[in-house]
Amino acid sequence: MSIQRFLIALAFLPCLASMAHASPYSAVVVYGDSLSDNGNLFAATGLPGTPYYNGRRSDGPLAVEHLATSLGAPLVDLAWIGATTGVGNFGDNGSVTSFGFAGLPGMTTVYDTTRGTLGPLLSDGLFVVWGGANDFLAPSPLDAGDPLAIIDRAVNNLVAIISDLQALGAGTILAPGMPDLGLTPEFRSLGPVAAAQASAFTDAFNALLLASLPTDVLFFDTAALTRDVVANPAAYGLTNVTDACFDGVTQCSTPANYLYYDSFHPTTAADAIIARGFLATLAVPEPSSLALAVMGLALVAARRRFGFATL
């Protein structure tokens, strides 16, 4: 299955726009990775299989699906599981000119292939550009061992997509930050040093992304939400915020009580929480000066933890 399936779907965008007249947005258009892919990798490869829900890396609808449903807008999902911000999937990071895993596309490739078809939605669509974790989890050998180079390249890739969307006339763009990777079951299992490094990467990435975003682009601090959920699980209706519901063999009996479905990805219950954060961000478009200051401090702290003087 090739990316041409997207081009066929996008040919129907004028119809979607006319159907979504009751929504503030004609559609929710998403570029991203496994946090947002609702079946594109599955259509191409048959993965992931059961017990994952209909090709998603979760037990139900993802955050962008909850968001689109809440807005009453159709979802145009252009995300791919495993996508880096660059050309391909695992092991790419945009630093090589060939596809990564199984010849599947990264975010930049998907965007470059589909940008010419977005016209019907540019002025009144909601564009979500959300990625970056795979650049850290499976970087190009050219960047391995240099987390700040990974961050710089990944942020540049995302900002290039976002800036081009603005140049095309996109009215509303949401660029969520990365969730705190150090809190995932995967990094918890690797010990406190690895978890702290993953959290430092998260903070540095999010700080640079926020500082680099063009004017009028909305930022959502997914890492801050993740940390608040872990600190106050009962307030969000959860009881287990440390373990994976599905360990690769057995699925837990109560996924609705878990923050994580597998070692990296949220449950659909957690995705609904994230979607509520997205909705709140759409209602309050500009980050406060306090938020900007906090993110700036996070960038400085992350530099120190990585042992680099500059980013």
Residue type, 162: I
Average pLDDT over residues 50-61: 94
The CA–CA distances, whole Å, from 254 to 31, 52, 54, 149, 230 equal 30, 15, 19, 40, 17
What is the rounded CA–CA span in Å between residue 128 and residue 33? Answer: 11
Q: In what order do the strands lie in the sheet with 172-176?
A: 75-77, 28-32, 126-130, 172-176, 218-220
Structure confidence at residue 305 as a pLDDT band (50, 70, 90): very low
Residue 4 is assigned to a structural domain of this protein: no
| All residues at 6 or more sequence positions from 206 whose CB lies less than 8 Å from its CB, including other chains | 177, 178, 221, 222, 223, 295, 298
Residue type, 22: A
The CA–CA distances, whole Å, from 98 to 51, 95, 144, 180 equal 32, 9, 17, 29
Residue with tokens 């969520």: 176
Q: Is the pLDDT of residue 122 over 60?
A: yes
SS3 content of the chain, % helix, strand, coil (to 5): 50, 10, 40
Domain count, the chain: 1
Residue 262 is assigned to a structural domain of this protein: no
For the record, the structure tokens of 45 come out as: 């490869």
How do residues 137-171 score in pLDDT, each as one tens digit? 876 666 667 889 889 999 999 999 999 999 999 99
For the record, the structure tokens of 179 come out as: 């969730």
Residue 43 is assigned to a structural domain of this protein: yes
| pLDDT value of position 103 | 62
Percent of the chain predicted with pLDDT > 90: 67
Closest to 78 measured CA to CA, from 100, 106, 46, 119: 106
Residue 112 is assigned to a structural domain of this protein: yes
Q: Say if residues 195 and 183 touch (Cβ distance below 8 Å).
A: yes
For the record, the structure tokens of 260 come out as: 């994580």
Average pLDDT over residues 85-113: 65
Return phi, psi of residue 117, to 5°: -105, 5
Residue with tokens 């490739």: 109
Residue 292 is assigned to a structural domain of this protein: yes
| Low-confidence winner among 8-17, 41-50, 147-156, 166-175 (lowest mean pLDDT) | 8-17
What is the rounded CA–CA span in Å between residue 69 and residue 272? Answer: 11
How do residues 253-281 score in pLDDT, each as one tens digit? 999 999 999 999 999 999 999 999 999 99
| pLDDT value of position 140 | 62
The pTM score is 0.84
Residue 84 is assigned to a structural domain of this protein: yes
Residue 69 is assigned to a structural domain of this protein: yes
Q: Say if residues 25 and 126 touch (Cβ distance below 8 Å).
A: yes
The CA–CA distances, whole Å, from 69 to 11, 243, 268, 275 equal 22, 28, 13, 10
| pLDDT value of position 141 | 63
Domain range enclosing 32:
24-222+268-305
Residue 250 is assigned to a structural domain of this protein: no
For the record, the structure tokens of 289 come out as: 């000066």
CATH at residue 92:
3.40.50.1110
* H helix or E strand, kind and range, residue 129: strand 126-130
CB atoms within 10 A of CB 311: 18
Residue type, 173: I
| pLDDT value of position 289 | 43
What is the rounded CA–CA span in Å between residue 285 and residue 292? Answer: 14
Residue type, 35: L
Q: Is the pLDDT of residue 211 over 60?
A: yes
What is the rounded CA–CA span in Å between residue 275 and residue 65? Answer: 8
How do residues 158-207 score in pLDDT, each as one tens digit? 999 999 999 999 999 999 999 999 999 999 999 999 999 999 999 999 99
